């Protein structure tokens, strides 16, 4: 498998020959930040186009076709439109918090990407609590949403923010417990260690029934955390217009829009890492020929194939199921998913203790 360690080491040596240790560290941080921003922007454009085409396919239509070849430049046209729009602030709004909220929501997204391992040797930071760090940092985004709803001085925005906060905090429990079931089997919170524990098979296959239950629970809970249909009660148009970002326009609205797709990207990366082996290729038992062929596919290609598979599942949810009521949404979490996740965690711990997983 291709390792990016040689490339990163070469960059480090080149910079070390030009400046001191402090300058090297600062320059590497700037490079890493620019790469992450570029990755997020490219992925957002790809996911927006993908969502429009997936929705069109499921509704037996074509989707965007006019701007660019098969509508590939439609997202760029939308960005240009938002750039030209004026950012308006309501008279009764708290101007400071109103302006800060979109930056906070977007900054949290960038922070959560740090521990993700994209390929062998391609990881910005590998703390021994990587999964816990992602869960903890992504939770801060709720503060930005509540801040946006309250500071807008709009009852629809406030109600949307309160709904969103209750929804995210509730479903974080099930999402966290579902990941914890795999962490118990892998024996580590490090994203790199979890990936390496799947060298002989992905946890979705070798973790038996608890891994499958955890995967389904994580997918449902993550979709709810993202405020996406059928769990988009925070943006229910017929009730709350646009929810917590009703009063936002121009690039401020675009930042919330970008944060939504960045969160979708992060959730898909975490799901691919924990359940589908991250950048590990697909290996089947003792089929040496098949496994050898799979090793020829670069790890970063495997990783993004799994990420887009997860993204497609969440998009499939959106265009298949009708929107739930707020009471149904909370009942699904507290009455069904949370008890199921607790029982599943105990079952995963028992299977690990007995050594029954592959």
Distance CA 87, CA 71 (A): 27
Chain position carrying tokens 């040496």: 288
Q: What is the pLDDT of residue 10?
A: 84
Average pLDDT over residues 345-356: 89
Helices 74-84 & 21-58 angle (0-180, nearest 10): 110
Helices 21-58 & 95-112 angle (0-180, nearest 10): 90
Closest CA to 245 of 167, 325, 255, 107: 255
CA angle 301, 305, 308 (to 5 degrees): 140
Say if CB 290 and CB 210 are below 8 A apart. Answer: no
Weakest mean pLDDT among 262-266, 293-297, 353-357: 353-357
Say if CB 311 and CB 50 are below 8 A apart. Answer: yes
**Sign of the torsion formed by the C-alpha atoms of 47, 52, 53 and 58:** positive
For the chain, which residues make up each domain, given as ranges?
Answer: 78-354
Q: What is the pLDDT of residue 355?
A: 80
Distance CA 302, CA 198 (A): 13
The H-assigned helical ranges of the chain are 5-16, 21-58, 74-84, 95-112, 130-139, 141-151, 155-186, 191-196, 203-206, 208-225, 237-240, 250-275, 288-295, 299-318, 326-331, 338-354
Average pLDDT over residues 24-52: 91
Percent of the chain having pLDDT more than 70?
96
Chain position carrying tokens 């799994």: 306
Question: Residue 324 pLDDT more than 90?
Answer: no
For residue 122, the cross-strand partners are 119
Q: What is the pLDDT of residues 125-182, one digit of tens each?
A: 889 899 999 999 988 989 999 999 999 988 888 888 888 888 888 999 999 999 999 9
* SS3 at position 123: strand
Q: What is the pLDDT of residues 201-244, one digit of tens each?
A: 899 988 889 999 999 999 999 999 888 888 887 766 666 677 78
Q: What is the pLDDT of residue 175?
A: 94
Chain position carrying tokens 């499939």: 316
DSSP for 169-222, please give it.
Answer: HHHHHHHHHHHHHHHHHHT-S-HHHHHHTTTTS-HHHHTHHHHHHHHHHHHHHH
Question: Residue 1 pLDDT more than 60?
Answer: no
Is the pTM above the cut of 0.95?
no
Distance CA 227, CA 104 (A): 17
Q: Which helix (H) or strand (E) holds 118?
A: strand 117-119
pLDDT level of residue 98 (50, 70, 90 thresholds): very high
Q: What is the pLDDT of residue 283?
A: 82
Q: What is the pLDDT of residue 314?
A: 93
């Amino acid at each position: 498998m291709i390792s990016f360690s040689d490339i990163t080491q070469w960059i480090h040596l080149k910079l070390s020959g030009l400046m001191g240790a402090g300058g090297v560290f600062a320059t590497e941080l700037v490079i890493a930040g620019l790469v992450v921003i570029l990755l997020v922007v490219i992925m957002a454009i790809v996911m927006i186009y993908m969502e429009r085409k997936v929705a069109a396919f499921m509704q037996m239509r074509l989707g965007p076709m006019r701007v660019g070849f098969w509508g590939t430049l439609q997202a760029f046209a939308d960005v240009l439109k938002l750039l030209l729009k004026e950012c308006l602030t309501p008279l009764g709004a708290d101007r400071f918090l109103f302006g800060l909220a979109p930056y906070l929501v977007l900054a949290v997204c960038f922070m959560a990407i740090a521990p993700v391992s994209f390929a062998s040797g391609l990881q910005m930071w590998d703390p021994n609590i990587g999964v816990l760090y992602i869960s903890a940092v992504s939770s801060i985004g709720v503060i930005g949403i509540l801040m946006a709803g309250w500071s807008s001085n709009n009852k629809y925005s406030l109600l949307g923010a309160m709904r969103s906060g209750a929804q995210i905090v509730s479903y974080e429990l099930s999402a966290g417990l579902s990941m914890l079931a795999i962490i118990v089997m892998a024996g580590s919170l490090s994203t790199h260690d979890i990936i390496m524990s799947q060298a002989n098979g992905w946890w979705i296959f070798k973790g038996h029934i608890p891994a499958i239950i955890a995967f389904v629970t994580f997918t449902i809970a993550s979709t709810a955390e993202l405020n996406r249909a059928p769990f988009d009660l925070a943006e229910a148009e017929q009730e709350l217009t646009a929810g917590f970002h009703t009063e936002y326009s121009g690039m401020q609205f675009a930042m919330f829009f970008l944060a939504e797709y960045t969160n979708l990207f992060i959730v898909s990366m975490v799901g691919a890492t924990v359940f589908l082996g991250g950048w590990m290729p697909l290996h089947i038992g003792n089929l040496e020929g098949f496994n050898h062929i799979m090793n020829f596919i670069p790890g970063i290609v495997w990783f993004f194939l799994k990420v887009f598979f997860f993204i497609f599942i969440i998009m499939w949810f959106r265009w298949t199921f009708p929107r739930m009521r707020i009471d149904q949404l909370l009942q699904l979490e507290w009455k069904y998913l949370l008890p199921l996740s607790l029982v599943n965690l105990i079952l995963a711990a028992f299977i690990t203790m007995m050594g029954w997983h592959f």
